[in-house]
Amino acid sequence: MSKVLIIGAGGVGGVVTHKCAQHPEVFSEICLASRNEDKCRAIADQLDRQIQTAQVDADNVEALVALIESFKPDLLIHVALPYQDLTIMEACLRTGVPYLDTANYEHPDEAKFEYKEQWAFQERYAKAGVMATLGCGFDPGMTNIYCAYAQKNLFDEIHQIDILDANGGDHGYPFATNFNPEINIREITANGRYWEEGEWKETAPLAEKRTFDFDGIGEKDLYLLYHEELESLSQNIKGLKRIRFWMTFSEKYITHLKVLENVGMTSIEPIEFEGKQITPLQFLKAVLPDPASLGPRTKGKTNIGIIADGIKDGKRRKVHIYNICDHEACYREVQSQAISYTTGVPAVTGAMLMLEGIWKGAGVFNVEQLDPDPFMARIGEMGLPWQVVELDPEADPLA
Ligand code: NDP
């Protein structure tokens, strides 16, 4: 029986609230707070149990501390934006409340996506005896836990990991992003980067392309991107020689993105427009469909997972560990598409394990540093079943 405070009433916040509400035995009281309380109330109205709602500016530590002190949660789930990671971590530290998020800190004026400033809280959290769990969505999150599970149960040593994120869903719009457009476009327009033999290697944006035949959704084009879990996994998986991240995009998506980029609409440099400073990417976000509105329109499935390649009992082994998630089934259950669902369900599962004392510790943890077994044992019944498929150890599935 615990009180949970959820910050952020967007696509992921909706799923997290629904999923917490489905488990009153763990989350006996829920408060959903966001910049705009009407959005919290709209989510609360979808539920068949009472929850509290609140308005909070999560950029403001004092406002967060005041909300935490009045609701007195046992845990805080942060699913607002990556810009708020540091303020919310600071507020949790000051009030001694355990913290969980799904994305690493991003400075509003720079596309960096790095853990440095969150890891800098390590000593203060450890000293205060408070736990912070970082990156417990799907990727990062579930993918890190698949890696930790493979390391613990399937391999003696993992040499190579490829994270494969495929979305076979169709929302019927010519162009829309499945989660916050600003964050999504910042990730995709940045240079690609992967880690090999202890070094970061850079590629031009979307320069590396492969195809892969995904269970449940068929053959798709994949592009190499930098993604934040590479930073922690390259440090936490022993014996690792290379780790890369790949995401599927349709040709239509890439064409739209290139045009928007070529005309300057994806820039995060402010410009003067009619006497005001505006950021082109923020303006673009305002005209694109709200990701939360894609739910009722999206059909098809996602397949997200990892290919791990290494050694077991002296022999080479290669496995694909993945989940297939159906957009329409997610919408029937929690009124959201699969991208928000696959992010929110691991967040709630991680929160449960923390509240039950199964995941415990003092300090700042990336999820692969925690025991993957209780998580993997529970995530299927929470809505994200997984499978392990053996691949030909000598063949390159991304050739
Ligand atoms: P949305 O943009 O749909 O939702 C973000 C919510 O946060 C909105 O309700 C927004 O308010 C609120 N918010 C923004 N700024 C503030 C603030 N200063 N104070 C209070 N509330 C604020 O994003 P998503 O739901 O798609 O994503 C949520 C998080 O999940 C992001 O950090 C994203 O990066 C992460 N994510 C992680 C994934 C993973 O697999 N690990 C995958 C997808 C997302 P308003 O409605 O007023 O704008």
Q: What is the residue-wise DSSP string for 287-324?
A: HSPPGGGSGGG-BSEEEEEEEEEEEETTEEEEEEEEEE
> 7, 133, 145, 180: which to mutate for ligand 1, most atoms within 8 A of CB?
180
In 3D space, the residue among 166, 230, 164, 235 whose CA is nearest the CA of residue 193 turns out to be 230
**SS3 for 46?**
coil
In this structure, are strands 75-78 and 199-203 parallel, antiparallel, or unpaired?
unpaired
The answer to whether 216 touches 324, Cβ cutoff 8 Å, is yes
**Pairwise CA distance, residues 379 & 263, whole Å:** 43
Pocket lining: 337 vs ligand 1, CB cutoff 6 Å: no
Bridge partner list, 299? 170
Query: Considering the domain boundaries, does residue 378 fall inside one?
Result: no
Pocket lining: 280 vs ligand 1, CB cutoff 6 Å: no
> 17, 40, 81, 230: which to mutate for ligand 1, most atoms within 8 A of CB?
81
Pocket lining: 136 vs ligand 1, CB cutoff 6 Å: no
Pocket lining: 9 vs ligand 1, CB cutoff 6 Å: yes
**Pairwise CA distance, residues 358 & 287, whole Å:** 44
Q: What mean pLDDT do residues 108-137 have?
A: 92
Is 130 found in the same domain as 146?
A: no
Query: Considering the domain boundaries, does residue 76 fall inside one?
Result: yes
Which of 116, 134, 152 is where one domain is finished? 134
Pocket lining: 183 vs ligand 1, CB cutoff 6 Å: yes
Give residue 77 CA to ligand 1 midpoint distance, Å: 12
Residue 363: the pLDDT is 98
Is 81 found in the same domain as 42?
A: yes
Residue 290 alpha carbon, nearest atom of ligand 1: 3
Residue 295: the pLDDT is 87
Ligand 1, atom 8, lies closest to the CA of 10
Query: Considering the domain boundaries, does residue 252 fall inside one?
Result: yes
What percent of the chain has pLDDT above 70? 100
Is 87 found in the same domain as 182?
A: no
Give residue 180 CA to ligand 1 midpoint distance, Å: 7
Q: What mean pLDDT do residues 117-130 have?
A: 98
Indicate the length of the chain as a whole number.
Answer: 399
Is 310 found in the same domain as 203?
A: yes
With 80 as the cut, is the pLDDT of residue 292 above it? Answer: no
Pocket lining: 370 vs ligand 1, CB cutoff 6 Å: no
Is 186 found in the same domain as 331?
A: yes
Give 160-190 pLDDT, tens digit per residue. Answer: 999 999 999 999 999 998 888 888 888 888 8
Is 98 found in the same domain as 37?
A: yes
In this structure, are strands 387-391 and 52-55 parallel, antiparallel, or unpaired?
unpaired
Is 223 found in the same domain as 326?
A: yes
Give residue 36 CA to ligand 1 midpoint distance, Å: 12
Give residue 270 CA to ligand 1 midpoint distance, Å: 22
Is 127 found in the same domain as 208?
A: no
Is 54 found in the same domain as 149?
A: no
**SS3 for 177?**
coil
Residue 139 alpha carbon, nearest atom of ligand 1: 40
Pocket lining: 248 vs ligand 1, CB cutoff 6 Å: no
Is 183 found in the same domain as 73?
A: no
Residue 101: the pLDDT is 98
Query: Considering the domain boundaries, does residue 356 fall inside one?
Result: no
Query: Considering the domain boundaries, does residue 362 fall inside one?
Result: no
Residue 80 alpha carbon, nearest atom of ligand 1: 7
The number of folded domains in the chain is: 2
CA 95 to chain centre: 25
Pocket lining: 321 vs ligand 1, CB cutoff 6 Å: no
**Pairwise CA distance, residues 3 & 131, whole Å:** 16
Pocket lining: 141 vs ligand 1, CB cutoff 6 Å: yes
Which of 134, 168, 189 is where one domain is finished? 134
With 70 as the cut, is the pLDDT of residue 371 above it? Answer: yes
Query: Considering the domain boundaries, does residue 210 fall inside one?
Result: yes
- Report the CATH number that the domain containing residue 50 is assigned in CATH: 3.40.50.720
Is 208 found in the same domain as 110?
A: no
With 70 as the cut, is the pLDDT of residue 111 above it? Answer: no
Is 319 found in the same domain as 195?
A: yes
Residue 187: the pLDDT is 83
Query: Considering the domain boundaries, does residue 377 fall inside one?
Result: no
Pocket lining: 84 vs ligand 1, CB cutoff 6 Å: yes
Q: What mean pLDDT do residues 74-99 have?
A: 97
- Report the CATH number that the domain containing residue 186 is assigned in CATH: 3.30.360.10
Query: Mean pLDDT across the chain, nearest whole number?
Result: 95
Which of 99, 118, 134 is where one domain is finished? 134
Pocket lining: 221 vs ligand 1, CB cutoff 6 Å: no
Give residue 14 CA to ligand 1 midpoint distance, Å: 10
Ligand 1, atom 32, lies closest to the CA of 81
Domain that holds residue 222: 142-336+383-391
Give pTM, 2 decimals.
0.95
Give 232-270 pLDDT, tens digit per residue. Answer: 999 999 899 999 999 999 899 999 998 999 999 999 999
The answer to whether 345 touches 383, Cβ cutoff 8 Å, is yes
Query: Considering the domain boundaries, does residue 43 fall inside one?
Result: yes
Give 336-355 pLDDT, tens digit per residue. Answer: 999 999 999 999 999 999 99
In 3D space, the residue among 179, 214, 175, 171 whose CA is nearest the CA of residue 302 turns out to be 214
Concatenated DSSP letters of 325-392: EEHHHHHHHHSS-HHHHHHHHHHHHHHHHHHTTSS--SEEEEGGGS-HHHHHHHHHHHT---EEEEE-
